[in-house]
Structure 1
Amino acid sequence: MRSNGGKERKIGLVLILIACLLFLTGCWGKREVEELAPLIGIGFDPGQKPGTYIITQQLAKPKQAGATAADVEDRTFSIEASSAREAYEKVYKISSRMPFMGSLKVVVIGEDAAKAGFKDILDFVQRFSEFRRSMYIVIAKGKAQNLLDLKLRNGQLPAMSIKNHIEQGENLSTFPTVRLGHYLTVLGTKCTAPIIPVVENIKSGDGGIKYKDGKEGEEIQIQGAGVLRGDHLVDLLTDEETKGYMWLDNDVIHRLINTVGIGESKVNFGGQVLNSTTKYKVPDKDGTIELRYQIKTDITVDEVMGLKKQLSETEWVDLMKEAEKSFAKEIEKECELSIKKERELGLDFLGIGRHIEQKNSAYWKTVKDHWEEKIADFPVSVNVEVTIHHSGMSSNSVTTNSTGEGEE
């Protein structure tokens, strides 16, 4: 009797499992990887016809014959269409693989499209479920189509090269990293103007850069940033103005920095930032509200240029104090340039209004409705403290008849 009961229970369990399997959905809507073309980058420019865009899609096609997953062939299409979906359809018709949107890394907004406004373009990017808000957004200096069509000397797809540049950006901290989610968040604050990094191609000889190693193609760089009112590009920041923004936004992780000689010695210094912290206060002094930035930076000195004589230990200590002042002056200059630009544009890309709201919400309520007018004369000060943590392996220059390396 017991053995029969055990068999019945086992049979009942098997039937239940079979029934469960019948109700599972499975992978009925699956798409094989071999049938997909991963979308790496997408660019937007104004079209020739009114109400249209030139939408450039950069797809990656994995190479055959045992190549690694990193080896891809370039399949870039530029389509004039009235919507992203129309462009998607046209590309799908001529491509042997279905474009897969979930792999998108970079959205490139052409300069003219950015000036005209691109909220309709981004609607599809933020609405379609396959897209992720972690994708990067950049502005192309010129046309996005031309940038994505570039042949680079390193053989990479331009979209992948832009992505790699951005992800290595903290090593220099000279431009902001902007993802779709961050841009939309800033846009929602209303008082803060969005800022997006600018990408451009570099030919040999541009900006003092020359290259010749037998490889055909060009290079790209990310330098400067665009300031927007909503989704409209208003102006471009210079490299120094963008660096000032990075200091004030507490976004400097590492930096290479050079100074212009000050004081009697006229010695120049080159160094790198080890770490940096920016804090702010919003004091109220007799009814006068102001914003005070406090930047504390640790720097190691890598170069001392213009040193004419051998220094004693005391003189070297004094020189390093001079270096601290010199580095602080350079940082202050970059910050002041950024603040000056904010005043000129009347756009709060530095987020000063956000700081005021956090520290003094009562005062913010009185100025938020006319904040753009208030920016021009709102008092802002910057105080920079630099500490030299290391001055290299020698306390003198090779031209000063130093008695030996490693003297401190």
Structure 2
Amino acid sequence: MKRGKGRRTGLIVILITGLLLLPGCWGKREVEQLAPLLAVGFDLGQEPDSFLITAQYARVKKTGGNSAEIMDRTFSVEAKSARDAFDKIAKVTYRTPFIGSLKVILIGESVAKNGGFNDILDFTQRFSEFRRSMYLVLVKGKAQDILNLKLRAGLLPGIAIKNNIEGGDEISSFPTVRLGHYLTIQGRKSTAPIFPVVESVKSGEGIEYSAEGQGEAGEMRIDGAGVMSGDRLGSFLTDQETKGYMWLEDNIINRLIDSADLEENGVRFGGQVIKSSTKYKVKASNEKMELRYEINASVAIDEILGLKKQLSGPEWVELVKESERSFARVIEQECEAAIKKQRELGLDFLGIGRHIEQKNAAYWKTIKDQWQEMIADFPVALDIKVTVHHSGMSSSSATNSAGEGQD
């Protein structure tokens, strides 16, 4: 009995000791005591070698019940380093800044053109609270202005940019770049980084909206991209060039697309890409090596413009085939625009060198040291096929159907 009692006592002591050694929330910080960082933007400062750093924090305001409202707390300071900036801001936040919630880093146009923001990003690699999944965007103008923009929807700009990026698959017209991806690209000497571009947009600048009763409220958009040479801006890409990049990088998830006018009758189709695949091959052509892209896309037709007469079955089939060729021409034009831009810049933002290395490592070893000079002339071919898998429920348009033509 004494032996059994001693064993039980010993077991209890071991269990208590184990519980004491278990990790717990000894150093916990209550959410109410934190200032979650949502976005940070970098512009050039007025002093030499300084940055104007804008940090957007969330301030949660309880509105009753279980609901809460996120209020804006945005600060801008001029500093020589990111650590210096966060130290200055922390003195006025009244709460402990929490950097692990950071969603977006905005690179202002002045910093991008001047270069040097990689030194700031070094802080994001070393400080443990940063995550490599945060998004990077380039700003036309000042990052400070974007983060201080009062949006009509009432969202904080940092959250709005994050939402736009994460919904970007629906239109597939701009790239998504995370910090980890950018750092990987920077490690490849042959590939130039690329960022989506954010800009504020006023009513009348390609879009009209009413801000009546909302003061200085406005809107922003993600449109086009910027190509970097190291950490310096090489050039902005147009919408067409950016869409070409998206095709060649196999980044099309969903995409709205208009056909060119069909040559014979002026009919034009509007459609949605529902499936896309881009593959590439490196092979000899005319005694030279070339990279050939093979793009296959499936399109659903959403609208038909300019159809003036009711079509017979065979005529409708032929028109749909003609639309496939027209969609393919539009894709080809976008891809050619991106390829042309790459040749002009001499910056391999399409990653052609990487494709060559993956497909023919032996050949890549013979040209990698001269790749920068070869970019402008390296042969690139396109093989594009579009298939219309859904052409709608009618073979007529609204202007001439008169209740007829329903399939």
Q: TM-score scaled by structure 1?
A: 0.96
Aligned to 2:202: 203
Once the two structures are superposed, the pairs formed by residues 268-287 of structure 1 within 5 Å of their partners are: 268-285=268-285, 287=287
- Partner amino acid, structure 1, of 2:349: F
Q: Give yes or no for contact 1:271–1:301 (8 Å, CA) kept in 2.
A: yes
Aligned counterpart, 1:40: 38
Change (3 A) 1:70 1:268: farther
| 3-state secondary structure, aligned to 2:198 | strand
What is the Cα deviation at residue 65 of structure 1?
3.9
Q: Which residue in 1 is equivalent to 2:27? A: 29
1:375 aligns with 2:348: no
Q: Where do 1:225-240 residues align within 5 Å?
A: 225-240=225-240
Once the two structures are TM-superposed, the CA of residue 214 in structure 1 deviates from its matched residue by 4.4
CA-to-aligned-CA distance 1:276-317 (integer Å, 9 cap, x gap): 000111112464100111100000111110111111111111
Query: 1:188-267 to 2 correspondence within 5 Å?
Result: 188-212=187-211, 214-216=213-215, 217-267=217-267
The residue number in structure 2 matching 1:329 is 329
State how far apart, in whole Å, the 1-side matches of 2:292 and 2:68 are: 48
Does the CA-based 8 Å contact 2:211-2:218 persist in structure 1?
Answer: no
Judged with a 3 Å threshold, the aligned counterparts in structure 2 of structure 1 residues 85 and 67 are, in CA distance, closer, same or farther, namely farther
Greater Cα offset, 305-314 or 248-257: 305-314
Aligned residue identity for 2:99: M
- Of 59, 62, 72, 1:61 maps to 59
> 1:311 is matched with which residue?
311
Say if 2:124 is the partner of 1:125: yes
Question: C-alpha deviations, 1:106-141, integer Å up to 9, x for none?
Answer: 000001111112111101112111000000000111
How far 1:183 sits from its partner (Å)? 0.4
1:26-61 Cα shifts (integer Å, max 9, x gaps) = 433322211110000000001010111111000001
Counterpart contact for 2:103–2:134, Cα < 8 Å: yes
SS in 2 for 1:282: strand
Shift of 1:182: 0.3
- For 1:142, the equivalent position in structure 2 comes to 141
Question: Which piece of structure 1 moves more, 303-312 or 19-28?
Answer: 19-28
SS at match of 2:273: strand
Question: How far apart are residue 213 of structure 1 and its match?
Answer: 6.1
SS in 1 for 2:121: helix
Alpha-carbon offset, residue 24 of structure 1: 4.3
- Could you tell me which amino acid in structure 1 is paired with residue 296 of structure 2? K
- The structure-2 alpha-carbon separation of the partners of 1:70 and 1:385, relative to structure 1 and needing over 3 Å to count, comes to farther
* In 1: Cα distance, 2:367 partner to 2:68 partner: 52
Q: 34-43 or 396-405: which moved more?
A: 396-405
Query: How many angstroms apart in 2 are the aligned matches of 1:31 and 1:53?
Result: 30
Question: In structure 2, what is the equivalent of residue 9 of structure 1?
Answer: 7
Count of aligned pairs: 405
Please tell me whether the aligned partners of residues 62 and 68 of structure 2 are also in contact (alpha carbons under 8 angstroms). no
Displacement of 1:69:
6.2
Q: Note closer, same or farther for the CA distance 1:389–1:24 as it changes in structure 2 (3 Å cut).
A: closer
Partner Cα distance (2:86, 2:129) in 1: 13
Residues 62 and 69, structure 2, Cα contact 8 Å, conserved in 1: no
Using the alignment, how far apart are the partners of 2:64 and 2:132 within structure 1?
33
Q: Root-mean-square deviation (CA), in Å?
A: 1.5
Structure 1 equivalent of residue 111 of structure 2: 113
> In structure 1, how many angstroms separate the alpha carbons of the residues matched to 2:230 and 2:401?
60
Mapped contact 2:63–2:69 kept (Cα < 8 A)? no
* Structure 2 residue matching 1:27: 3-state secondary structure: coil
- Aligned partner of 1:163 in structure 2 is 162
Specify which of 99, 102, 107 is matched with residue 100 of structure 2: 102
Task: In structure 1, list runs of 5 or more residues that go unmatched.
Answer: none
The residue that corresponds to 1:394 in the other structure is: 394
1:326 match: secondary structure: helix
Measure the CA separation in 2 of the matches of 1:67 and 1:46.
44
1:179-190 matches, cutoff 5 A: 179-190=178-189
Q: Could you tell me how far 1:14 is from its partner in structure 2?
A: 1.4
For residues 285 and 85 of structure 2, what CA distance do their matches in structure 1 show? 58
Bigger shift: 109-118 or 277-286?
A: 277-286
Q: Which amino acid aligns with 2:144?
A: Q
CA distance in 1, matches of 2:254, 2:382: 20
The letter of the residue matching 1:34 is: E
Letter in 1 for 2:223: Q
Distance 1:405 1:127 in 2: 65
* 2:71 counterpart residue number: 73
* Alignment gaps of 5+ in structure 2: none
**Is the counterpart of residue 89 in structure 1 residue 94 in structure 2?**
no
Q: Quick check: 1:310–1:402 contact (8 Å CA) kept in 2?
A: no
1:175-226 deviation line (CA, Å, top 9, x unaligned): 0000000001111111010001000111111114334564441111101001
Q: For 1:166 and 1:182, how far apart are their aligned partners in 2?
A: 15
Q: Distance in 1 between matches of 2:372 and 2:7?
A: 76
Question: 2:318 & 2:354 partners in 1: Cα distance?
Answer: 40
Deviation of 1:25 (Å): 5.3
The percent identity for this pair of structures is: 60
Contact kept, 8 Å, 1:396 with 1:402, in 2: the verdict is no
Cα distance change of structure 1 residues 18 and 295 upon mapping to structure 2, 3 Å threshold: same
CA shift, 1:401, in A, is 4.0
Residue 404 of structure 1 pairs with residue 400 of structure 2 = no
* Aligned mates of 1:343, 1:211 — CA distance in 2: 42
Letter of the 1:112 counterpart: S
Q: CA deviation at 1:13?
A: 1.1
Work out the CA distance in 2 between the residues paired with 1:351 and 1:331.
19
